[in-house]
Structure 1
Amino acid sequence: MFNRKLVLEDGTVYYGVGFGSSREISGEVVFNTSMTGYQEIISDPSYYGQIVMLTYPLVGNYGINRDDFETIAPFINGLIVKEYSEHPSNFRSEETLDSFLKAHDIPGLYGIDTRKLTKSIRSAGTLRGIITNIDIPNDEVLNRLRLLPELRDQVRRTSTTKPYIVPGRGHRIVLVDYGMKHGILRELTKRNCHVTVVPYDYSAENILRLKPDGIMLTNGPGDPQDVPEAIQMIGKVIHHVPVFGICLGHQLIALACGAETEKMKFGHRGGNHAVKDLVTGKAFLTSQNHGYAVKKSSLGNTELELTQISLNDNSVEGIRHRVLPTFSVQYHPESSPGPEDSNYLFDEFLQVIDQHIAKQEVHVYA
């Protein structure tokens, strides 16, 4: 353990103790309010390039195990916690959080006032920061921070580079990987789907050539407007096959249908976000991780209708096409970590596929 500091672009400095890697790292500083699930959070590709702060005070107390990863390698740039537990107690634990971060060259920082930092982000909005050694002058760090370019290629860096198949006997699903969490794949294979995972820039023609029963668009990092290839592809395939989008996939569907997206002040990241379904009137808790959202006012000039809203800030949480078998949600129905209240959406997607197939058969035999 060694003394380190976090320097934010507004000039604020937080002094703490380093763990994990000792290298200097920069990134957008965001906070997650989940009480558990730090292993899944660390391995979520949607955090690519970000320094993640966990608001729950004690982290590392149940270690790291082989079963709770959402990707093979973690994508966060850094981790900030109030108190780090050096001695985990869990029958599944195979190594400490510190040794895991060291193995993946990810810096950690603990011992700072995370409550104060959270309030600062909620007030000023998301800030960029650098975790560095305590002896480097703050002015020098700030100058480096101000010269850092904005990330624009996060999806390319987190998506698979080649298609691959996860065999099943059920519906044939093309899963477009924009930075996919394995929880989505688990939910589809649990339902015996035959899944073909394709890269983010796979063309509509190549996807339709696979003859899918349905297409699922995954979560991913960054600004949806930085992925024009995906927007063009979605605009074509929704006229042929049922489509279900999650998180970034949800935003891309909105853009493909003529709606707009916007950067949020500090985003939604945690496992306790309340959402209301406007169709059923029911409310449920969801797991969320996004810094962009669909503009509610932009839906009026499209064929999309609002189906779900956030009970915290009234932002868009679900949309559905009025004519085509296409729908999406802003949150993560596969959770990982978080509540499983919205897990039914995977079954709903398969029902939409069944209805679409039935309509096609009626048309063929009519």
Structure 2
Amino acid sequence: MKARLILEDGTECIGTAFGAVTESLGEVVFNTGLTGYQEVLSDPSYCGQIVTMTYPLIGNYGINRDDFEAVRPFIHGFVVREHCDLPSNWRSTSTLDELLKAYEIPGISGVDTRMLTRKIRHFGTLKGMITTSDAPLEELVASLQQATLMTDQVSRVSTKSVFSAPGTGHRVVLVDYGSKHGILRELTKRGCDVVVVPYNVTAEEIRRLQPDGILLSNGPGDPKDVPQSIQTIAQILGEYPLFGICLGHQLFALASGADTEKLKFGHRGGNHPVKELTTGRTYITSQNHGYAVKEDSIAGTGLEVTHLALNDGTIEGLRDVKKQAFSVQYHPEAAPGPYDSGYLFDQFLDMIVSTKEEKSYAKTR
């Protein structure tokens, strides 16, 4: 069946439909990963977006039970150059087409993804539509230009209730703004007693859980769309060691008095170089975000820049030494992508230990 990808600037890409035969709107973005399409599909940070994969062949190793980063995908569409419907992998239990059909997500193949990526890089992210309609292009573009994209993505992907992943180590409250399973895996394999809470948790509810540390997760959309979360973080800053990842990094910055801005086309993929300023070392990182902390807003907040993106110089890490808090814009849990930055979880736990020791020493004085 013929499918059409329509962009708000009037661009039309005609290809072949796969996945669900349905019409869907979203922000069209691109991901530069060579592999990891299952993890990309199931990353809640893509909620509301139509994802274009720059690698030409997608679906060749199928879908398996173990590589999901959430219980279900939240993307609004999938764009590929060539869709493989005969996967070959011993772990595969279903096809990409079957997964998209199961969750009512449309896909389109046969698209010139190189052209599409170049257009997004030049003009920035654009509203788009995947459809099988034969309606005139002008009519579809007009409706697309008038459409409003969702702003409540975090509420859609966050857990609705508190749950725990028991462990014998430090208690970490994981605030779920759309958390990937990889974050929970990194904490539990270090023995942490993890309590996962919804995005709209209050400061008092966090205090009642008596955490040793707090982790602010990744998530979709504009951080300013969740003002309640910013207020909660501001209320608990300095009370517990805190670690922010991706959207959590941006919310930490806003709660500290800094500002954020939308990037032209964002960072999405598993090959982004980031420089750690204290050591001068460069890490290859996994990233998925469309917003960044504004560098000129840091002054006077107590924040220090710890990491920078080498591709465009944007802020990739922050810390507030006095409040025992730090954050990174990229994904140390990877999945997909390199695991070079897993040491940040160890730094978080080291911060928890040192904070406990300081409190214990203060009590004995």
How far residue 147 of structure 1 moved from its aligned partner, in angstroms, is 2.1
Partner of 2:298, secondary structure, is helix
How far residue 160 of structure 1 moved from its aligned partner, in angstroms, is 0.4
> Contact (CA 8 Å) 2:271, 2:285: kept in 1 or not?
yes
Partner of 1:128, secondary structure, is strand
How far apart are the structure 2 equivalents of 1:358 and 1:24? 56
> Contact (CA 8 Å) 2:62, 2:94: kept in 1 or not?
yes
How far apart are the structure 1 equivalents of 2:18 and 2:151? 29
Q: What's the counterpart of residue 64 of structure 2?
A: 65
- The one-letter amino acid of 1:233's match is T
Q: Could you give the per-residue CA deviations for residues 249-270 of structure 1, whole angstroms, max 9, x where no partner exists?
A: 0000000000000000000000
Identity %: 58
Q: What's the counterpart of residue 140 of structure 1?
A: 139
> Contact (CA 8 Å) 2:26, 2:149: kept in 1 or not?
no
Q: What's the counterpart of residue 151 of structure 2?
A: 152
How far apart are the structure 2 equivalents of 1:314 and 1:363? 41
How far apart are the structure 2 equivalents of 1:147 and 1:101? 27
Q: Does 1:334 align with 2:333?
A: yes
Q: What's the counterpart of residue 222 of structure 2?
A: 223
Q: What's the counterpart of residue 306 of structure 2?
A: 307
- The one-letter amino acid of 1:13's match is E
> Contact (CA 8 Å) 2:42, 2:70: kept in 1 or not?
yes
> Contact (CA 8 Å) 2:77, 2:107: kept in 1 or not?
yes
Q: What's the counterpart of residue 47 of structure 1?
A: 46
Q: What's the counterpart of residue 103 of structure 1?
A: 102
Q: Which residues in structure 2 correspond to 1:206-245 (within 5 Å)?
A: 206-245=205-244
How far residue 134 of structure 1 moved from its aligned partner, in angstroms, is 5.1
Q: Could you give the per-residue CA deviations for residues 11-67 of structure 1, whole angstroms, max 9, x where no partner exists?
A: 111111110011011100000000000000000000001000000000000000000
Q: Does 1:276 align with 2:275?
A: yes
Q: What's the counterpart of residue 79 of structure 1?
A: 78
- The one-letter amino acid of 1:238's match is L
How far apart are the structure 2 equivalents of 1:7 and 1:215? 42
How far apart are the structure 1 equivalents of 2:107 and 2:225? 29
- The one-letter amino acid of 1:58's match is L
Paired residues, number: 365
How far apart are the structure 1 equivalents of 2:23 and 2:133? 11
How far apart are the structure 2 equivalents of 1:301 and 1:28? 34
Partner of 1:252, secondary structure, is helix
How far residue 271 of structure 1 moved from its aligned partner, in angstroms, is 0.1
Q: Could you give the per-residue CA deviations for residues 225-261 of structure 1, whole angstroms, max 9, x where no partner exists?
A: 1111111111111121000000000000000000000
Q: What's the counterpart of residue 116 of structure 2?
A: 117
- 5+ residue gaps, structure 2: none
Stretch deviating more after TM superposition (141-150 or 9-18): 141-150
Q: Could you give the per-residue CA deviations for residues 200-243 of structure 1, whole angstroms, max 9, x where no partner exists?
A: 01000110111100000000000001111111111111121000
> Contact (CA 8 Å) 2:270, 2:337: kept in 1 or not?
yes
- The one-letter amino acid of 1:310's match is A
- The one-letter amino acid of 1:187's match is E
Q: Does 1:290 align with 2:311?
A: no
Q: Which residues in structure 2 correspond to 1:171-190 (within 5 Å)?
A: 171-190=170-189
> Contact (CA 8 Å) 2:238, 2:322: kept in 1 or not?
no
How far apart are the structure 1 equivalents of 2:318 and 2:101? 41
> Contact (CA 8 Å) 2:27, 2:149: kept in 1 or not?
no
- The one-letter amino acid of 1:287's match is S
How far apart are the structure 1 equivalents of 2:236 and 2:243? 12
- The one-letter amino acid of 2:101's match is K
Moved over 6 A (4+): none
How far residue 144 of structure 1 moved from its aligned partner, in angstroms, is 1.5
Q: What's the counterpart of residue 36 of structure 1?
A: 35
- 5+ residue gaps, structure 1: none
> Contact (CA 8 Å) 2:256, 2:301: kept in 1 or not?
yes
How far apart are the structure 2 equivalents of 1:108 and 1:307? 39
How far apart are the structure 2 equivalents of 1:305 and 1:178? 24
Q: Could you give the per-residue CA deviations for residues 164-208 of structure 1, whole angstroms, max 9, x where no partner exists?
A: 111000000000000010000000000010000000010001101
Q: What's the counterpart of residue 27 of structure 1?
A: 26
Q: What's the counterpart of residue 198 of structure 2?
A: 199
Q: Could you give the per-residue CA deviations for residues 82-141 of structure 1, whole angstroms, max 9, x where no partner exists?
A: 001111000000111011111111100000100000000000000011111252211111
How far apart are the structure 1 equivalents of 2:141 and 2:266? 24
How far apart are the structure 2 equivalents of 1:88 and 1:150? 34
> Contact (CA 8 Å) 2:270, 2:338: kept in 1 or not?
yes
- The one-letter amino acid of 1:195's match is V
Q: What's the TM-score once normalised by structure 2's chain length?
A: 0.99
How far apart are the structure 1 equivalents of 2:279 and 2:351? 17
Q: What's the counterpart of residue 361 of structure 1?
A: 360
How far apart are the structure 1 equivalents of 2:238 and 2:320? 11
